Amino acid sequence: MTHIRQIIVVKSFITIIFTFLSFSASVSGQTLPLIPAPAEQEILPGSFSITPATTIRLQGAGAEKTAALLNSFLESNYGFKLKYGSGKNSIRLEIDAKVSPESYALIINRDGILLKGDAAGLFYGLQTLQQLFPVGAGNDIHIPCTKIHDQPRFAHRGMMLDVGRYFFPMDYLKEFIDRMAHYKLNVFHWHLTEDGGWRIEIKKYPDLTRKAAWRNSTQYNYAGLQDRIPHGGFYTQEQVKELVRYAAERHVTIIPEIEMPGHSLAVLSAYPGLSCTGGPFAVPIYWRLQQEIFCAGNDSVFTFLEDVLSEIIPLFPSKYIHIGGDEAPKKRWEACTKCQDRIRAEGLKDEHELQSYFIHRIEKFVNSKGKQIIGWDEILEGGLAPNATVMSWRGEAGGIEAANMGHGVIMAPDVYLYFDYAQSLDKDNEPAGIGRHLPLEKVYGYEPYTPKLTPEQCTYIKGVQANLWTAFIQSRNVAEYMLFPRTLALSEIAWSPASKKDYKDFLERLPARLAALDAAGVTFRIPEPDGWDKVSIENGYATIQLRPLVEGAKIYYTTDGSDPATTGKLYDGTLRLPLTFKGLDVRCVVTLPSGRNSNVYKLTPVE
Ligand code: ACM
Ligand code: ZN
């Protein structure tokens, strides 16, 4: 008994020390749990308590929008709203239109909070403030005192979602935009058309949504399994307007993408006369590089595309329209008399120049409507259209070439920013990835200013973007698994000054953010605990030190090869284990506060 009591006393003492340490860390430590890291921040002693007696003070037109967002955040998480008032114990929200775009100052002291910026800046300052709230209802709300001055590094901070290969309903798109905006991303690139489906109502061409938006079945991984479930859907123009408004309230611009000349098999299945061969075609059920393509020698193709763009352009206030341009195989054009006639009539050298003719012609039309085009880096081939912005996806080469030519660039290199790549090499436990291995740390390490460009040329890089292609991602849970936590790394690449980037520090800030995502029910990939790959082996013993990367999570482990999710022991400190004749076989799972378990992670010794 005495012995057990002693252990309890020692444990309580340790708990007190740890409580003290974590309390002091949140008050005077180096890091507040903010992602993306702000440009400048100073942590001050003390905290400010928000209670129902706290009031909101407004200054400047538009500040009331931030107040409404703050109140809806408070109401849904803590069950109360704040009234307008004056004096101390207040949150002041002030619009200052003269500051640099999207910037804000957030000053929290013991008497109150001041948040000041332009309209977007106030929105971003509010996101920062929300990240300083304790996660979970029923908590006393103590916000640590701090002084933050913040502004984005890049103007274009994008995420692309492919709704062509998998149709996501409106409510998911709203959640997607909410999360983007919370992490200070501001461009939703809406990939609306694909071989696998056309997703936007065009009144002049009803078969786009009657036929091209539907397929009979889907093959959703390399194994060749088909689900035999009809799949499809589309957004009406009214829904598009609703989403554009919804995004704008969150300072997110939507850039629509209408793919051409390739990735158009869904269209061609509804309107086969727009192809080189005349069809017939069906909307494909599996992912592969399709050969079918809009005929570049047929003027009715341009009439069709101009009609479509004429309905698209008024729906989107964005300055840019994305016209695709990627992966356009030239086989059909080589064999098509109309295409060959066009090459001759226009004095073009080959099919690459024919693609360039195609994009130039569309660019001219889009420009005539007061908009600019963005295209994937293949639009460089055969000659870049004069005002085009290049989205570099096959690595950075296209972006470098375009910046050299004085064109705007958005860096979205596949090796760093394709979130359909797998996050781990453990194929048995991961959802199917489409190609390479892209773990969180590699994403985080991406630096868009390449040394292959001069600092002056780097100014053509307008921003960065991650892309989620959905050939193998056929549910919202898997989409979220692929998006998170990698989107948090993207957010820091896009927003934070390069000098503030530090992966170790990011891992200190990540647990609070992942706890918030867990509380919101997001099915992010639960990272391996910190230390899982650094087990030191000495004199026949393994020393294991683990830290979950989600606040409030627990780690369970086994040493006999069995499943830690069912038979694991709770890990509660450093472990020192004698090695068996089999060596090391320690497996663990991370269990979140919500009860969701991670994959089983096998610990690896350092060599
Ligand atoms: C692309 O990944 N085909 C742009
Ligand atoms: Zn043709």
Report helix, strand or coil for 54: coil
**pLDDT higher at 296 or 87:** 296
Tell whether the model's pLDDT for residue 178 goes beyond 80.
yes
Residue 8: what pLDDT? Answer: 39
Q: Mean pLDDT across the stretch 176-197?
A: 98
Distance from the alpha carbon of residue 292 to the mean position of ligand 2, in angstroms = 10
The response to whether residue 316 sits with its C-beta less than 6 Å from ligand 1 reads no
Cis bond upstream, residue 485 (ω within 30): yes
How far apart are alpha carbons 59 and 158 in whole angstroms? Answer: 31
What is the structure's pLDDT at 424? 94
pLDDT tens profile 207-256: 999 999 999 999 877 777 888 999 999 999 999 999 999 999 999 999 99
Q: Is 395 exposed, middle or buried (0-12, 13-18, 19+ CB in 10 A)?
A: middle
For the segment 48-65, the average pLDDT, to the nearest whole number, is 96
Q: Is 326's C-beta closer than 6 angstroms to any atom of ligand 1?
A: yes
pLDDT at position 21:
37
Whether the CB of 96 sits within 6 Å of ligand 1 = no
Q: What is the pLDDT of residue 607?
A: 62
d(CA 91, CA 335): 68
Which residues place a Cβ less than 5 A from the ion ligand 2?
276, 295, 297, 336, 338-339
Q: Summarize the confidence of residues 294-314 as an average pLDDT.
A: 98
- Please report the pLDDT score of residue 221 as a whole number: 75
d(CA 192, CA 240): 11
Task: Indicate the pLDDT class of residue 137, thresholds 50, 70 and 90.
Answer: low
Please check whether residue 569 is in contact with residue 557, taking contact to mean a CB–CB distance below 8 angstroms: yes
What is the model's pLDDT at position 22? 37
Question: How much helix, strand and coil, in percent to the nearest 5, is found in the chain?
Answer: 35, 25, 40
Residue 114: pLDDT band with limits 50, 70, 90: very high
Spacing, Cα 413 to ligand 1 middle (Å): 10
Closest ligand to Cα 420: 1
pLDDT, tens digit (0-9, with 9 covering 90-100), for 447-479: 999 999 999 999 999 999 999 999 999 899 999
Q: Is the pLDDT of residue 273 over 60?
A: yes
Q: How much is the pTM?
A: 0.94
Query: What's the length of the chain?
Result: 607
* pLDDT number for residue 508: 97
393 lines ligand 1 (CB under 6 A): yes
User: From the alpha carbon of 391, which atom of ligand 1 is closest?
Assistant: 4
Q: How many Cβ atoms sit within 10 Å of the Cβ of residue 447?
A: 12
Which range among 4-18, 128-142, 234-248 shows the weakest confidence by mean pLDDT? Answer: 4-18
Lowest-pLDDT range of 12-21, 188-197, 338-347, 552-561? 12-21
Closest by CA to 298, choosing from 267, 336, 262, is 336
Ligand closest to 295 (CA) is 2
